[in-house]
Amino acid sequence: MSNKAQSVKAYKNLEFLNSREARTLRILSEYQEPLSRLDKYKVNNWVLFCGSARIDPKNKKDPLYKYYWEAEELAHELVKWAIELKPKGKNFVICTGGGPGIMEAANRGAHRAGGKSIGMNISLPYEQKVNPYVSPELSFTFHYFFMRKFWLVYKAKAIVAFPGGFGTCDEIFELLTLIQTIKINKKDINVCLYGEEYWKKIIDFEAMLNFGAIDEDDFKLIQYVSDPMEAFSYLKDNLFKHLL
Protein backbone atom coordinates (compact mmCIF):
# COMPACT_ATOMS: atom_id res chain seq x y z
CA MET A 1 0.00 0.00 0.00
CA SER A 2 2.88 2.40 0.77
CA ASN A 3 4.11 2.14 -2.84
CA LYS A 4 0.97 3.69 -4.28
CA ALA A 5 1.58 6.81 -6.39
CA GLN A 6 0.63 10.02 -4.63
CA SER A 7 -1.45 12.53 -6.58
CA VAL A 8 -0.10 16.09 -6.83
CA LYS A 9 -2.30 19.14 -6.56
CA ALA A 10 -2.50 20.97 -9.88
CA TYR A 11 -0.99 24.21 -8.58
CA LYS A 12 2.04 22.24 -7.28
CA ASN A 13 2.54 20.25 -10.47
CA LEU A 14 5.61 21.91 -11.99
CA GLU A 15 5.53 19.71 -15.09
CA PHE A 16 2.04 21.00 -15.84
CA LEU A 17 2.76 24.61 -14.86
CA ASN A 18 5.70 24.71 -17.27
CA SER A 19 3.75 23.12 -20.11
CA ARG A 20 2.25 24.75 -23.20
CA GLU A 21 -1.23 24.07 -21.79
CA ALA A 22 -0.51 26.20 -18.71
CA ARG A 23 0.81 29.22 -20.60
CA THR A 24 -2.28 31.31 -19.80
CA LEU A 25 -1.73 30.63 -16.10
CA ARG A 26 1.88 31.81 -16.34
CA ILE A 27 0.79 34.97 -18.15
CA LEU A 28 -1.87 35.66 -15.54
CA SER A 29 0.72 35.11 -12.80
CA GLU A 30 2.96 37.76 -14.39
CA TYR A 31 0.04 40.16 -14.18
CA GLN A 32 -1.41 39.29 -10.77
CA GLU A 33 1.75 38.81 -8.69
CA PRO A 34 3.27 42.23 -9.50
CA LEU A 35 -0.15 43.85 -9.02
CA SER A 36 -0.44 42.28 -5.58
CA ARG A 37 3.08 43.24 -4.52
CA LEU A 38 2.87 46.83 -5.76
CA ASP A 39 -0.39 47.20 -3.88
CA LYS A 40 1.17 45.73 -0.74
CA TYR A 41 3.96 48.32 -0.80
CA LYS A 42 1.55 51.14 -1.74
CA VAL A 43 3.25 52.11 -5.01
CA ASN A 44 0.84 54.45 -6.79
CA ASN A 45 2.90 55.36 -9.86
CA TRP A 46 6.44 55.75 -11.15
CA VAL A 47 8.86 57.48 -13.49
CA LEU A 48 10.38 55.07 -16.01
CA PHE A 49 14.06 55.38 -16.91
CA CYS A 50 15.39 53.51 -19.93
CA GLY A 51 18.60 53.61 -21.92
CA SER A 52 21.68 51.62 -22.84
CA ALA A 53 22.62 48.65 -20.67
CA ARG A 54 26.16 48.75 -22.08
CA ILE A 55 27.46 51.96 -20.47
CA ASP A 56 30.45 51.39 -18.20
CA PRO A 57 30.38 53.94 -15.35
CA LYS A 58 34.10 53.39 -14.73
CA ASN A 59 35.24 53.96 -18.31
CA LYS A 60 35.56 57.67 -19.05
CA LYS A 61 36.40 56.84 -22.66
CA ASP A 62 32.94 55.36 -23.18
CA PRO A 63 31.18 57.86 -25.51
CA LEU A 64 28.02 57.52 -23.40
CA TYR A 65 29.85 57.68 -20.04
CA LYS A 66 28.41 61.02 -18.92
CA TYR A 67 24.84 59.81 -19.35
CA TYR A 68 25.24 57.21 -16.61
CA TRP A 69 26.06 59.85 -14.04
CA GLU A 70 23.47 62.31 -15.33
CA ALA A 71 20.80 59.60 -15.04
CA GLU A 72 22.00 58.91 -11.48
CA GLU A 73 21.75 62.60 -10.62
CA LEU A 74 18.31 63.06 -12.16
CA ALA A 75 16.92 60.02 -10.33
CA HIS A 76 18.44 61.30 -7.09
CA GLU A 77 16.79 64.72 -7.47
CA LEU A 78 13.41 63.22 -8.37
CA VAL A 79 13.40 60.88 -5.38
CA LYS A 80 14.47 63.59 -2.92
CA TRP A 81 11.60 65.74 -4.17
CA ALA A 82 9.07 62.89 -4.16
CA ILE A 83 9.93 61.86 -0.59
CA GLU A 84 9.34 65.39 0.67
CA LEU A 85 5.86 65.47 -0.89
CA LYS A 86 4.68 62.79 1.58
CA PRO A 87 1.42 61.95 -0.22
CA LYS A 88 -0.65 58.87 0.56
CA GLY A 89 1.35 55.92 -0.74
CA LYS A 90 4.48 56.17 -2.91
CA ASN A 91 4.34 58.43 -5.96
CA PHE A 92 6.95 58.95 -8.70
CA VAL A 93 9.01 55.93 -7.68
CA ILE A 94 11.97 55.31 -9.98
CA CYS A 95 11.32 52.30 -12.23
CA THR A 96 13.80 50.63 -14.57
CA GLY A 97 14.31 47.38 -16.42
CA GLY A 98 16.48 46.28 -13.51
CA GLY A 99 19.70 45.71 -15.41
CA PRO A 100 23.07 47.50 -15.79
CA GLY A 101 23.96 50.79 -17.50
CA ILE A 102 21.33 53.53 -17.39
CA MET A 103 19.01 51.21 -15.45
CA GLU A 104 21.58 50.76 -12.73
CA ALA A 105 22.30 54.49 -12.68
CA ALA A 106 18.64 55.38 -12.05
CA ASN A 107 18.22 52.76 -9.31
CA ARG A 108 21.50 53.96 -7.83
CA GLY A 109 20.35 57.57 -7.70
CA ALA A 110 17.13 56.55 -5.97
CA HIS A 111 19.10 54.49 -3.45
CA ARG A 112 21.43 57.43 -2.72
CA ALA A 113 18.40 59.62 -2.01
CA GLY A 114 17.05 57.07 0.48
CA GLY A 115 14.10 55.99 -1.64
CA LYS A 116 12.74 52.71 -2.91
CA SER A 117 13.02 51.86 -6.60
CA ILE A 118 11.60 49.24 -8.94
CA GLY A 119 13.48 46.83 -11.20
CA MET A 120 11.55 44.90 -13.84
CA ASN A 121 14.05 42.40 -15.14
CA ILE A 122 13.63 39.90 -17.99
CA SER A 123 14.99 36.35 -18.16
CA LEU A 124 17.22 35.96 -21.23
CA PRO A 125 19.44 33.21 -22.68
CA TYR A 126 22.37 35.29 -21.45
CA GLU A 127 21.09 36.29 -18.03
CA GLN A 128 20.74 39.99 -17.30
CA LYS A 129 21.43 40.22 -13.58
CA VAL A 130 19.41 42.57 -11.41
CA ASN A 131 21.59 45.51 -10.40
CA PRO A 132 22.34 45.86 -6.66
CA TYR A 133 20.45 49.14 -6.23
CA VAL A 134 16.95 47.80 -6.91
CA SER A 135 14.84 47.53 -3.75
CA PRO A 136 14.55 43.75 -3.09
CA GLU A 137 10.82 43.91 -2.36
CA LEU A 138 10.24 45.71 -5.68
CA SER A 139 12.43 43.46 -7.82
CA PHE A 140 10.54 41.54 -10.51
CA THR A 141 11.71 39.06 -13.14
CA PHE A 142 9.51 38.37 -16.16
CA HIS A 143 9.53 35.55 -18.68
CA TYR A 144 7.24 37.25 -21.20
CA PHE A 145 8.50 40.43 -22.83
CA PHE A 146 4.99 41.73 -23.45
CA MET A 147 4.08 41.41 -19.76
CA ARG A 148 7.25 43.22 -18.79
CA LYS A 149 6.46 46.00 -21.27
CA PHE A 150 2.93 46.22 -19.89
CA TRP A 151 4.23 46.73 -16.37
CA LEU A 152 6.96 49.18 -17.35
CA VAL A 153 4.34 51.65 -18.62
CA TYR A 154 1.17 50.65 -16.71
CA LYS A 155 1.61 53.15 -13.88
CA ALA A 156 4.28 55.33 -15.47
CA LYS A 157 3.58 59.06 -15.36
CA ALA A 158 6.74 59.92 -17.29
CA ILE A 159 9.41 58.14 -19.28
CA VAL A 160 12.96 59.44 -19.51
CA ALA A 161 14.76 57.75 -22.39
CA PHE A 162 18.53 58.13 -22.24
CA PRO A 163 20.74 57.20 -25.20
CA GLY A 164 20.34 53.52 -26.00
CA GLY A 165 20.05 50.94 -28.72
CA PHE A 166 17.37 48.65 -30.14
CA GLY A 167 15.67 47.94 -26.82
CA THR A 168 15.43 51.61 -25.88
CA CYS A 169 14.10 52.56 -29.32
CA ASP A 170 11.58 49.74 -29.12
CA GLU A 171 10.27 51.04 -25.80
CA ILE A 172 10.08 54.63 -27.07
CA PHE A 173 8.22 53.77 -30.28
CA GLU A 174 5.82 51.38 -28.59
CA LEU A 175 4.91 54.03 -26.01
CA LEU A 176 4.54 56.75 -28.65
CA THR A 177 2.31 54.43 -30.70
CA LEU A 178 0.09 53.77 -27.66
CA ILE A 179 -0.26 57.51 -27.08
CA GLN A 180 -0.83 58.26 -30.78
CA THR A 181 -3.60 55.65 -30.96
CA ILE A 182 -5.11 56.91 -27.68
CA LYS A 183 -4.53 53.63 -25.85
CA ILE A 184 -2.77 55.90 -23.37
CA ASN A 185 -4.02 59.42 -22.83
CA LYS A 186 -1.22 61.85 -23.70
CA LYS A 187 -2.14 63.86 -20.59
CA ASP A 188 -1.28 60.83 -18.44
CA ILE A 189 2.39 60.52 -19.37
CA ASN A 190 5.29 62.74 -20.42
CA VAL A 191 7.92 61.51 -22.87
CA CYS A 192 11.42 62.93 -22.39
CA LEU A 193 14.29 62.10 -24.70
CA TYR A 194 17.42 62.84 -22.70
CA GLY A 195 20.44 63.85 -24.75
CA GLU A 196 19.13 65.96 -27.62
CA GLU A 197 22.36 65.68 -29.60
CA TYR A 198 22.18 61.88 -29.52
CA TRP A 199 18.49 61.45 -30.23
CA LYS A 200 18.32 63.94 -33.10
CA LYS A 201 21.08 61.98 -34.85
CA ILE A 202 19.50 58.59 -34.18
CA ILE A 203 15.82 59.36 -34.89
CA ASP A 204 14.78 62.16 -37.24
CA PHE A 205 11.25 62.88 -36.05
CA GLU A 206 11.28 66.16 -37.97
CA ALA A 207 11.80 64.24 -41.22
CA MET A 208 8.80 62.05 -40.33
CA LEU A 209 6.77 65.23 -39.87
CA ASN A 210 7.97 66.75 -43.16
CA PHE A 211 7.11 63.54 -45.05
CA GLY A 212 3.66 63.51 -43.49
CA ALA A 213 4.23 60.24 -41.63
CA ILE A 214 3.29 61.94 -38.35
CA ASP A 215 1.49 65.19 -37.66
CA GLU A 216 2.20 68.24 -35.50
CA ASP A 217 0.41 66.79 -32.46
CA ASP A 218 2.54 63.63 -32.67
CA PHE A 219 5.70 65.72 -32.93
CA LYS A 220 4.71 67.66 -29.81
CA LEU A 221 4.56 64.48 -27.73
CA ILE A 222 8.35 64.53 -27.40
CA GLN A 223 10.34 66.78 -25.07
CA TYR A 224 14.10 66.95 -25.48
CA VAL A 225 16.20 67.55 -22.36
CA SER A 226 19.97 67.53 -22.01
CA ASP A 227 20.77 68.44 -18.41
CA PRO A 228 19.72 66.80 -15.11
CA MET A 229 18.31 69.97 -13.60
CA GLU A 230 16.54 70.92 -16.83
CA ALA A 231 14.94 67.50 -16.90
CA PHE A 232 14.08 67.65 -13.20
CA SER A 233 12.40 71.04 -13.59
CA TYR A 234 10.34 69.85 -16.56
CA LEU A 235 9.27 66.63 -14.87
CA LYS A 236 8.47 68.29 -11.55
CA ASP A 237 6.21 70.85 -13.25
CA ASN A 238 4.33 68.10 -15.10
CA LEU A 239 4.08 65.47 -12.37
CA PHE A 240 2.22 67.52 -9.75
CA LYS A 241 -1.11 66.94 -11.49
CA HIS A 242 -0.80 63.18 -10.87
CA LEU A 243 -0.59 63.39 -7.09
CA LEU A 244 -3.24 61.26 -5.37
pLDDT at residue 2 greater than cutoff 60: no
Q: Are strands 222-225 and 156-161 parallel, antiparallel or unpaired?
A: unpaired
Residue 111 pLDDT:
98
What is the sign, positive or negative, of the torsion defined by CA atoms of 38, 105, 206, 221?
positive
Question: To 5 degrees, how large is the angle CA 218–CA 53–CA 83?
Answer: 75
Distance in angstroms (rounded) separating the CA atoms of residues 116 and 162: 21
Distance in angstroms (rounded) separating the CA atoms of residues 76 and 82: 10
Contact between 121 and 142 (Cβ < 8 Å): yes
Residue 24 pLDDT:
95
Q: Encode pLDDT of 32-57 as tens digits.
A: 999 999 999 999 999 999 999 999 99
Q: Encode pLDDT of 126-163 as tens digits.
A: 757 899 999 999 999 999 999 999 999 999 999 999 99
Q: Which is higher by pLDDT, 64 or 129?
A: 64
Mean pLDDT of 4-12: 81
Residue 5 pLDDT:
61
Residue 243 pLDDT:
78
Q: pLDDT over 90 for what percent of the chain?
A: 86
pLDDT at residue 1 greater than cutoff 60: no
Give the domain ranges of the chain: 42-238
Residue 3 pLDDT:
56
Strand partners, 159: 48, 191
pLDDT at residue 4 greater than cutoff 70: no
Cα dihedral value 37, 83, 93, 140, nearest 10: -40
Options 3.40.50.450, 3.40.190.10, 3.90.550.10, 2.40.37.10; CATH for 42-238 is: 3.40.50.450
Residue 227 pLDDT:
97
Residue 7 pLDDT:
84
